[in-house]
Amino acid sequence: LYFSTQEGFLFFYRIKGLQYEMKICAEILQPISNLIFSPDYTILLLVTEQGTMYTYKPAQSGEAVKLLDPCSSCFLAADFLTPGNKYCVSVTTSGEVQVWFLEDGTCLSKLNLDVEVHV
C-alpha cells in the first residue's frame, strides 16, 4: 500500500497477516495530489498540488525523480497512456492536455481545450 501525506512524504506499508512494516520511500516536501501506477506497476507517477510531476520506481527504492515543473499553468492530473509505461498524459488548470515521454520529460503533443479545468 502506497500513500502520501500533506507534508509530501510517500509512504509504503507492507501488510502481512496481522503484521505490518512502514517505510518512507520519498520526500517530495510538497503536498501530493495524485498517485498513479503504470499498468505494469513498475513506475509510480506523483503529481503535487503545485503542479510538479515526479516518477518513483518501487523496485529500485531510490529517490523520486522530478520529471516536469509547472510552466504557465499547474498540472491538475496525469495518467499513463497504455499499453506500456513510456508515455503519460496530463491536463493543466488552464485546459491544456499534453502527452509526455517519461524517459526524459519531452513534451510530444499539446492540445488546448480552451476551458478552465477543475477537479
Annotated domain spans of the chain? 31-112
Residue 72: pLDDT over 60:
no
pTM for the full predicted model: 0.72
Identify the pLDDT of residue 83: 82
Instruction: Report the relative pairing of strands 44-48 and 53-56 from DSSP bridges.
Output: antiparallel
Cα separation, 8 vs 107, in Å, equals 25
Residue range 30-49, pLDDT digits in tens: 888 888 898 888 888 888 88
* CATH hierarchy code of domain 31-112: 2.40.10.480
Contact 57, 12 (CB under 8 A): no
